[in-house]
């Protein structure tokens, strides 16, 4: 029932309908008796008779109004409720509450709110009225009012978990995107010119990417002095979304100097200044915006980025603070969907949120979480101890925010900010790219069947839906027999639990015969690991000219030495490589410049676990329910042995849940850096600061701009593609992420600084509804611009909650300044759906263009042969180190022709569970020659190659001395 709980105990008798002038109490009892047996019609007749004699009887009016409401006679119901007097207060409060609910449902939000407030004036203990106001304020993005009502509810009764979560995150995530827009639309139907409602709906439209509608809703309010600033902020935000920075500046500049200063305008001005790379102004504006809401994640993160661009000492603290805000938001938001019958995962999350709230200086809020934990598990000692500490800090007024101080940051007065906007009235002039030249359709055909590449990944199929079963498999490209044709090694799963004697499922090695087919030579090569395989990599760790293999497993990993005669030996024990974690991606690289390939091992989570959804059914686990595992770094001693230097190398950083890996010289200083894509936590970027042969790294992901997306949100990182997508001579990063997140494109600005340009390049919308795994940058049409190939597929079948399961892989064609999803036109393979995982690049048929192999959990591995017609000119290079490691990992080639420059680096790790062919291929489009070709070896030695022939694959050997040498 909407109004009251009807406590009915008496039997109904028709006597009361005919008895002359019964008293009101008797009639009320008779009406309750009729309702008790479900006889609504008799109840209506009795109440109508009572009201004919006592028209102001509040209890009868309430019952009668409820009956009218139940029969959807809303006007009549409102009339009955409206007639109930305010006195006595208990009845008056119920009536005003009922009136308010009716008006809100009919779209009269303002009037409904007033009545709900009146209900509280009459009865401050009305939890029902406060709950309705929470819903109303949440829809209107009135975060402070939401918290005010929740505070009052907490004094009347314990919070539910949903209320605790809302109280915690509403400052960072205002509004209700699920139901809020529909409710605000109803309010505007009733009052189209209501300014606050127009602004709220405009904010919802902007959040949904419907920026033109946001502009249309907000524009009429630019002439309204009270609301002009907030309207301008929404419109300017929308113009920035559309990359029209001049229009954004123009809108802000039109605000009068006497307009009310507004934090949203300061925030937008900060975004605008950042686009113009005016970092001092960006810091000043964002600092002003942050003062009004220290919980706003986007503003906190953007302020940290701006500070880092200035080299400010406060940058790291600010970015760490923003990361903790993101962590609170992500973790707390997961709780309403938890299965209450599985308390351990809930408590794990709740303790994490509470502890992080302490770290950001919110001990009172943390105390609420510890208290809630104790209602679930009264014996939890951690919660007991921390609750006592949190209350002590809060009671002693020591709970000042631990957010970095803003006192020493520059400020910008309102009029100065407006003047700045007036000076930025034109659009940023971005470097223009030439037209595409060759307009061809990318065509990729799956030839695994005719090439006899027969492999199906087995994930264990336990029925327990372990997260492990969702992740594999991997693939490494290597020419193990040095016949010039790229071969393939693929990892395989196994039955769980692992049985060493079970040989049914094993990793496979496929030799490329050079005649368009592959042959399974696993047994002949002495391979066939039967563990639960994940990622793998190829590299010549002993510099003998033959690529070796390292295989990452769930459990013990394996190092295979290539004997040079077509066979391999397992030398894991002799190599002193240890560890039995859940390994994800792996890679070889020379981190200290001694000419020997070291080994980086990305580890994921801590254990297998069976998880259940809110409906109780077994489902794939959320990675956030697990502790992450420490990555490991093994230094190559040059004698066949490795040394675990993890603890002294600087890579022991908390929060890692790594899946993807890239080993590349990201700042072109001659030393290999490490980039790790983490699942649900900030990505790591370890800058190589090794000196005097001692390997050492410093983590700088946040300050470099590649730890989280541009809004400060960490994402479910998995795959990594690496290539110079904008052809500015600096190679960029592309990271695939989880469902309802966008794959993120980080543009390389130089100097180990990156900028999220996903929205500008159009990779956001096309990836939001995908779960991206492996990805590679491949110039399919050889026009000189790297395209992208992405494998997709969910971790479990969640179609019952309207989430896609199997997904098509995608090709994003590089249009010069955007990436366009052209998948449906790329061939039959892209019209089919699967569960794509590892992706590797190779030229399997040696026809001069790059192909790809994709591992799929739902079907056979795909060999995507590039059959694009009318491709551009090309040239390819294999590098062989002498002083450097023989694989030449870390070397790069730069080509100049026709006023253009192309740069390609030889890297390792190669993203998700995979290892690419070690060939640098340059698509040159319509260029007819190469005027300048330079190899920069890992030690910095420069080697020039004079007039290389187009359409050829060249092998370049590092010169024997440090002198520059020219090769033909």
Strand-pair partners of 675: 662, 685
pLDDT score recorded for residue 961: 59
Q: What is the mean pLDDT of residues 338-344?
A: 67
* Helix (H/G/I), strand (E/B), else coil: 727: coil
Q: Among 577, 602, 578, 600, which Cα is nearest to 588's? A: 600
Of 854, 880, 906, the residue that ends a domain is: 880
> Does position 871 have pLDDT exceeding 50, yes or no?
yes
Number of domains composing the chain: 3
For residues 592 and 948, which has the higher predicted lDDT (pLDDT)? Answer: 592
The mean-pLDDT minimum among 436-450, 623-637, 734-748, 935-949 falls in 436-450
C-alpha distances in Å from residue 577, one per residue of 534, 539, 560, 727: 17, 15, 12, 40
Q: Among 174, 177, 217, 224, which Cα is nearest to 197's? A: 217
DSSP state of 11: P
> Does position 3 have pLDDT exceeding 50, yes or no?
no
Q: What is the mean pLDDT of residues 629-648?
A: 98
The mean-pLDDT minimum among 254-263, 298-307, 385-394 falls in 254-263
pLDDT score recorded for residue 805: 94
- Measured N-to-C along each axis, helices 180-190 and 109-122 cross at an angle, to the nearest 10 degrees, of 100
- Classify burial at 618, counting beta carbons within 10 Å of its beta carbon; exposed 0-12, middle 13-18, buried 19 or more: middle
Query: How do residues 880-910 score in pLDDT, each as one tens digit?
Result: 999 999 999 999 999 988 778 899 999 999 9
Of 831, 853, 880, the residue that ends a domain is: 880
> Does position 41 have pLDDT exceeding 90, yes or no?
no
Q: What is the mean pLDDT of residues 283-287?
A: 94
DSSP state of 23: -
Q: Examine the domain organization and report whether 849 and 940 are in the same domain.
A: no
Query: How do residues 452-480 score in pLDDT, each as one tens digit?
Result: 999 999 999 898 999 999 999 999 999 99
Preceding omega of 757 cis (within 30 degrees of 0) = no
> Does position 535 have pLDDT exceeding 70, yes or no?
yes
> Does position 959 have pLDDT exceeding 60, yes or no?
yes
The mean-pLDDT minimum among 292-296, 297-301, 447-451, 871-875 falls in 292-296
pLDDT score recorded for residue 2: 39
What stretch of H or E contains 349? helix 343-359
Confidence band, pLDDT 50/70/90 cuts, at residue 441: confident
Confidence band, pLDDT 50/70/90 cuts, at residue 395: confident
Q: Examine the domain organization and report whether 632 and 754 are in the same domain.
A: yes
Q: What is the mean pLDDT of residues 193-212?
A: 94
Looking at the chain, the whole-number percentage of residues with pLDDT higher than 90 is 72
* Tokens found for residue 675: 């980039």
C-alpha distances in Å from residue 5, one per residue of 32, 193, 445: 11, 38, 67
* Tokens found for residue 803: 């989430």
Confidence band, pLDDT 50/70/90 cuts, at residue 340: low
| 668 domain residue, yes or no | yes
* Helix (H/G/I), strand (E/B), else coil: 186: helix
Is residue 246 within 8 Å of residue 255, measured between CB atoms? no
Query: How do residues 793-819 score in pLDDT, each as one tens digit?
Result: 999 999 988 899 999 999 999 999 999
> Does position 48 have pLDDT exceeding 90, yes or no?
no
Q: What is the mean pLDDT of residues 544-556?
A: 98
| 409 domain residue, yes or no | no
pLDDT score recorded for residue 298: 93
What stretch of H or E contains 395? helix 381-395
| 886 domain residue, yes or no | no
> Does position 17 have pLDDT exceeding 60, yes or no?
no
Query: How do residues 585-632 score in pLDDT, each as one tens digit?
Result: 999 999 999 999 999 999 999 878 888 777 778 888 888 888 999 999
Q: Examine the domain organization and report whether 650 and 718 are in the same domain.
A: yes
> Does position 408 have pLDDT exceeding 80, yes or no?
no
Task: State the Rg of the chain over Cα.
Answer: 33
- Measured N-to-C along each axis, helices 161-169 and 143-156 cross at an angle, to the nearest 10 degrees, of 150
Q: What is the mean pLDDT of residues 402-424?
A: 81
| 870 domain residue, yes or no | yes
* Tokens found for residue 594: 């001694």
Q: Examine the domain organization and report whether 383 and 503 are in the same domain.
A: no
Q: What is the mean pLDDT of residues 653-681?
A: 97
**Arithmetic mean of pLDDT over the chain:** 90
| 613 domain residue, yes or no | yes
Tell me, what CATH number does 481's domain have? Answer: 2.130.10.10
Is residue 875 within 8 Å of residue 699, measured between CB atoms? no
How many CB atoms are located within 10 Å of the residue 9 CB? 8
How many CB atoms are located within 10 Å of the residue 867 CB? 17
| 718 domain residue, yes or no | yes
pLDDT score recorded for residue 334: 85
Is residue 642 within 8 Å of residue 575, measured between CB atoms? yes
* Tokens found for residue 239: 């113009």
pLDDT score recorded for residue 403: 65
Strand spans (E) along 366-483: 444-446, 475-478
What stretch of H or E contains 102? helix 89-105
The mean-pLDDT minimum among 375-379, 559-563, 565-569, 928-932 falls in 928-932
Q: Examine the domain organization and report whether 331 and 455 are in the same domain.
A: no
> Does position 315 have pLDDT exceeding 80, yes or no?
yes
Tell me, what CATH number does 340's domain have? Answer: 1.25.40
Please list the alpha-helical segments (H only) found in 157-179. Answer: 161-169
- For residues 851 and 186, what is the distance between their CA atoms, to the nearest angstrom? 53
Q: Which residues contact 4 (CB under 8 A, 6 or more apart)?
A: 62, 66, 94
Q: Examine the domain organization and report whether 921 and 876 are in the same domain.
A: no
Q: Examine the domain organization and report whether 714 and 634 are in the same domain.
A: yes
Q: Among 886, 798, 330, 304, which Cα is nearest to 590's? A: 886
What is this structure's pTM? 0.89
pLDDT score recorded for residue 136: 97
Q: Examine the domain organization and report whether 533 and 676 are in the same domain.
A: yes
pLDDT score recorded for residue 22: 60
C-alpha distances in Å from residue 754, one per residue of 280, 571, 685, 702: 18, 40, 11, 10
| 77 domain residue, yes or no | no
pLDDT score recorded for residue 166: 96
> Does position 402 have pLDDT exceeding 70, yes or no?
no
pLDDT score recorded for residue 648: 97
Q: Examine the domain organization and report whether 614 and 692 are in the same domain.
A: yes
> What is the span of the domain harbouring residue 840?
444-880
- For residues 507 and 552, what is the distance between their CA atoms, to the nearest angstrom? 11
Q: Examine the domain organization and report whether 828 and 931 are in the same domain.
A: no
How many CB atoms are located within 10 Å of the residue 15 CB? 10
Q: Examine the domain organization and report whether 851 and 901 are in the same domain.
A: no
| 744 domain residue, yes or no | yes
Residue in this structure with the two tokens 């208290």, named with its chain if needed: 371
- Classify burial at 385, counting beta carbons within 10 Å of its beta carbon; exposed 0-12, middle 13-18, buried 19 or more: exposed
C-alpha distances in Å from residue 722, one per residue of 728, 745, 923: 14, 10, 16
CA atoms within 13 A on the CB side of 910: 30
Confidence band, pLDDT 50/70/90 cuts, at residue 439: low
| Parallel, antiparallel or unpaired: strands 583-589 and 920-925 | unpaired
Q: What is the mean pLDDT of residues 693-717?
A: 96
Q: Among 734, 541, 729, 721, which Cα is nearest to 640's? A: 541
Is residue 891 within 8 Å of residue 884, measured between CB atoms? yes
CA atoms within 13 A on the CB side of 532: 24
Of 819, 849, 880, the residue that ends a domain is: 880
pLDDT score recorded for residue 110: 94
pLDDT score recorded for residue 620: 84
Tell me the DSSP string of 172-223.
TS-S-TTTHHHHHHHHHHH-TT-HHHHHHHHHHHHHTT-HHHHHHHHGGGGG
Q: Examine the domain organization and report whether 582 and 721 are in the same domain.
A: yes
């Amino acid at each position: 029932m909407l109004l009251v709980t009807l406590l009915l105990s008496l039997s109904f008798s028709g006597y009361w309908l005919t008895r002359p002038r019964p008293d009101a109490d008797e009639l009320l009892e008779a009406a309750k008796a009729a309702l008790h047996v479900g006889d609504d019609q008799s109840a209506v007749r009795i109440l109508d008779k009572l009201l004919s004699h006592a028209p102001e009887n509040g209890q009868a009016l309430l019952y009668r109004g409820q009956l009218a409401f139940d029969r959807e006679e809303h006007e009549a119901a409102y009339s009955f409720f409206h007639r109930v007097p305010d006195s006595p207060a208990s009845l008056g409060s119920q009536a005003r509450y009922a009136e308010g609910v009716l008006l809100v449902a009919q779209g009269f939000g303002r009037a409904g709110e007033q009545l709900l407030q009146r209900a509280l004036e009459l009865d401050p203990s009305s939890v029902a009225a406060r709950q309705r106001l929470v819903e109303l304020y949440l829809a209107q993005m009135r975060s402070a009012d939401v918290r005010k009502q929740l505070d009052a509810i907490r004094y009347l009764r314990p919070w539910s978990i949903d209320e605790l979560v809302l109280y915690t995150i509403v400052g960072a995530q205002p509004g209700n995107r699920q139901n809020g827009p529909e409710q605000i639309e109803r309010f505007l139907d009733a009052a189209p010119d209501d300014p606050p409602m127009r602004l709220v709906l405009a904010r919802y439209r902007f959040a949904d990417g419907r920026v033109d509608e946001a502009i249309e809703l907000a524009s009429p309010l630019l002439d309204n002095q009270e609301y002009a600033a907030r309207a301008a902020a929404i419109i300017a935000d929308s113009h920035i979304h559309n990359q029209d920075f001049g229009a954004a500046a123009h809108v802000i500049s039109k605000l009068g100097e006497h307009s009310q200063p507004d934090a949203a305008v300061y925030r937008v001005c900060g975004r605008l200044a950042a686009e113009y790379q005016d970092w001092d102004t960006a810091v000043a504006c964002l600092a002003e915006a942050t003062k009004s809401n220290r919980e706003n994640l986007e503003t906190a993160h953007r302020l940290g980025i701006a500070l880092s661009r200035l080299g400010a000492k406060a940058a790291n603290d600010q970015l760490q603070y923003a990361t903790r805000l993101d962590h609170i938001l992500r973790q707390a938001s997961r709780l309403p969907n938890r299965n209450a019958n599985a308390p351990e995962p809930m408590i794990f999350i709740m303790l994490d949120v509470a502890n992080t709230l302490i770290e950001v200086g919110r001990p009172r809020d943390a105390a609420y979480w510890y208290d809630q934990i104790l209602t679930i598990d009264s014996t939890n000692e951690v919660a007991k101890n921390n609750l006592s500490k949190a209350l002590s800090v809060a009671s002693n007024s020591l709970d000042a925010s631990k957010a970095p101080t803003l006192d020493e940051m520059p400020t910008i007065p309102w009029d100065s900010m407006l003047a700045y906007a007036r000076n930025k009235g034109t659009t940023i002039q971005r470097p223009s790219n030439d037209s595409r030249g060759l307009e061809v359709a990318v065509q990729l055909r799956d030839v695994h069947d005719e090439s006899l590449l027969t492999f199906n990944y087995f994930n264990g199929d336990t029925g327990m839906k372990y997260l492990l079963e969702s992740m594999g498999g991997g693939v490494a490209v290597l020419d193990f027999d040095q016949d010039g044709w790229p071969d393939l090694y693929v990892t395989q799963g196994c039955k769980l639990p692992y049985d060493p004697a079970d040989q049914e499922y094993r990793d496979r090695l496929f030799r490329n015969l050079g005649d368009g087919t592959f042959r399974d030579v696993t047994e002949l090569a002495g391979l066939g690991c039967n563990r639960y395989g994940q990622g793998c990599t190829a590299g010549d760790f002993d510099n003998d000219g033959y690529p070796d293999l390292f295989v990452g497993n769930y459990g013990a990993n394996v190092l295979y030495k290539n004997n040079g005669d077509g066979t391999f030996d397992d030398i894991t024990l002799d190599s002193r490589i240890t560890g039995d974690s859940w390994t994800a991606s792996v890679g070889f690289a020379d981190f200290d410049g001694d000419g020997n390939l070291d080994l980086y091992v990305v580890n994921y989570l801590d254990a297998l676990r069976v998880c259940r959804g809110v409906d109780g059914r077994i489902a794939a686990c959320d990675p956030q329910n697990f502790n992450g595992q420490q990555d490991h770094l093994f230094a190559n001693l040059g004698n066949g042995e490795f040394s675990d230097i993890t603890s002294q190398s600087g890579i022991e950083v908390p929060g890692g849940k790594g899946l993807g890996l890239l080993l590349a010289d990201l700042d072109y200083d001659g030393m290999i850096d490490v980039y790790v894509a983490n699942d649900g936590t900030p990505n790591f970027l370890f800058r190589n600061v090794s000196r005097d042969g001692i390997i050492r790294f410093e983590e700088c992901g946040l300050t470099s701009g590649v730890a989280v997306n541009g809004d400060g949100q960490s994402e479910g990182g998995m795959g990594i593609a690496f290539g110079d997508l904008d052809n500015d001579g600096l190679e960029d990063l592309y990271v695939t992420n989880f469902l309802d997140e966008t794959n993120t494109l980080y543009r390389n600005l130089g100097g180990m600084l990156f900028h999220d340009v996903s929205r500008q390049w159009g990779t956001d919308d096309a990836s939001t509804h995908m779960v991206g795994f492996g990805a590679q940058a491949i110039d399919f049409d050889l026009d000189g611009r790297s395209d992208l190939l992405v494998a997709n597929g969910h971790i479990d079948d969640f179609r019952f909650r309207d989430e896609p399961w199997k997904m098509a892989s995608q090709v994003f064609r590089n249009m010069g300044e955007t990436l366009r999803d052209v998948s449906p036109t790329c061939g039959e393979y892209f019209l089919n759906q699967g569960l794509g995982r590892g992706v590797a690049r190779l030229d399997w048929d040696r026809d001069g263009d790059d192909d790809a192999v994709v591992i799929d959990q739902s079907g056979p591995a795909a060999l995507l042969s590039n059959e694009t017609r009318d491709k551009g000119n090309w040239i390819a290079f294999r590098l062989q180190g002498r002083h450097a490691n023989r694989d030449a990992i870390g070397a790069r080639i730069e080509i100049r022709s026709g006023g253009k420059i192309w740069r390609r680096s030889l890297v390792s790790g190669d993203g998700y569970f995979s290892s690419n062919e070690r060939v640098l291929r340059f698509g040159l489009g319509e260029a007819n020659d190469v005027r300048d070709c330079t190899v920069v070896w890992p030690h910095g030695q420069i080697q020039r190659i004079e007039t290389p022939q187009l359409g050829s694959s060249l092998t370049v050997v590092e010169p024997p001395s440090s002198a520059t040498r020219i090769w033909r």
